[in-house]
Amino acid sequence: MSQNPNTSPNLPWKCRFLMNYVAYLVDMCRRPDFTVNRRLYKLFDFKSSPSKTPINGVTTSDIMVDASRNLWFRLFTPENGSGSDVSLPVIVYFHGGGFSFLSADSFPLDRLCKRFARELRVVIVSVNYRLAPEHRFPCQQEDGVDVLNFIDTTNIEGFPACANFKHCFIAGDSAGGNLAHQVTLGAIQNNFRKVKIIGLLAIQPLLGGEERTESEILLHKSTLMPMKRTDWMWKAFLPEGSNRDHPAANVFGPNAIDISGLNFPATVVVVGGLDTLQDWQKRYYEGLKKSGKEAYMIEYPNAVHSFYGHPELSESSMLIEEVRDFIRRQCAKT
C-alpha cells in the first residue's frame, strides 16, 4: 500500500453525500442470506431513458441481444460522430455496482458513459449483464462474450457507421473492472470477424482474496468498500461453495488461470490511494507484468473508490486525459 497517512478524504459535500447515500442504500437492500431486496432497491434506482436527440452531446439507444435473459446494451454515440467519414474507437463497458446492483440505464452510469463518449470521442456499448445473486459467475462473463459475438456477427440497425471495431477496448469500473478482465479472458479465445480487442481499462477493479491486505485493514471504515460489504458481494457473486481465492476474485491467486501464453491486450489499471481495494489492484497489475503482458498503472494518491463518477474531483478529469492518451497510443499501433 502507498504511504498515504491521510485515510479520511477531504471531499466536497456533494460527493460525500452521494457516496453515503449509495452505501446506505446498498446496505438497506442486501440481506444477511446474500439475497437482494429488489422491490425496495428499484424504488431508488433512478433510470435514464435512451434519447435519439443529443443530451450533452451524446445520443443513446438500447439494443436487445437476448430477450430470454434480458441481455441488452445501451449504445452511446458522440454528436457529429455518426458519419462514415469519421472513425471512432469502440469501448465495450461493464458497469460497477458490486455485481448485484445498478444497470446500464441507471442514472449515474448513464451519465458516466455519456461523459466518456463525449470527452474521449468514442462509441460506447454499455452491457446490461445479469446480476448476482440470482445469476452467479460465470453468467456475467458469458453475457459479455455474447455481446461481443453479437456486435461481431450482426448487422445492427442504428449502429453508427463511424464505429471502428478494429479499435475495440474492454473497460469497466469497480465490479465492472473485474468483469472487463473476465470477459477479455473469454473473448480472446474467440475468432472474431470484425472485432479486434486492442486494450483493457480496469478502473479501480473489485478484486479480492482470502488474505486480508494492509489497505483493507487500514481503510476498513471506507464509505463504499469496507470489508464487511465486499465480503457480502463475493458471497453473492461467486459460485456456490467458492471462497475468495476463486479466480473470479483473486485473479492471480493460488487458483489463477495462466495467461502467459494468451494474446492478452495492453491493460491500464487505475488505483486510488484511499481505496480499500488498492493492494489487490496493484497485485493485479504486478500479475499482468509477471505474465509478460503490457500493463500500466495509474495511481491517484488521494482518490477514493468511485472518484471517476464525480466530475468535480480533479482526479476525474485527470483520468479522462490518461485514458484518452492510452486509447490514442493503442489505436496508433494498428
Q: What angle do CA 262, 89, 101 make, to 5 degrees?
A: 75
Residue type at 70?
N
Please state, in angstroms and rounded to a whole number, the distance separating the CA atoms of residues 51 and 266: 33
Please state, in angstroms and rounded to a whole number, the distance separating the CA atoms of residues 20 and 16: 6
109: exposed, middle or buried (C-beta count within 10 Å: 0-12, 13-18, 19+)?
Answer: buried
Beta strands 58-66; 71-78: pairing state: antiparallel
Catalytic residue flag (residue 246) = no
Please state, in angstroms and rounded to a whole number, the distance separating the CA atoms of residues 110 and 47: 8
| Selected catalytic residue, list 95, 181, 246, 305 | 305
Please state, in angstroms and rounded to a whole number, the distance separating the CA atoms of residues 130 and 100: 9
Residue type at 260?
S
Catalytic residue flag (residue 305) = yes
Which residues fall within 8 angstroms of residue 321, CB to CB, at 6 or more apart? none
User: In terms of DSSP H, where are the helices of the chain?
Assistant: 13-29, 38-42, 107-120, 139-153, 175-187, 214-218, 227-237, 278-290, 314-332
Q: Cα 139 from chain centroid? A: 16
| Selected catalytic residue, list 45, 173, 275, 279 | 275
Beta strands 163-173; 123-128: pairing state: unpaired
| Selected catalytic residue, list 106, 174, 306, 316 | 174
Catalytic residues: 174, 275, 305
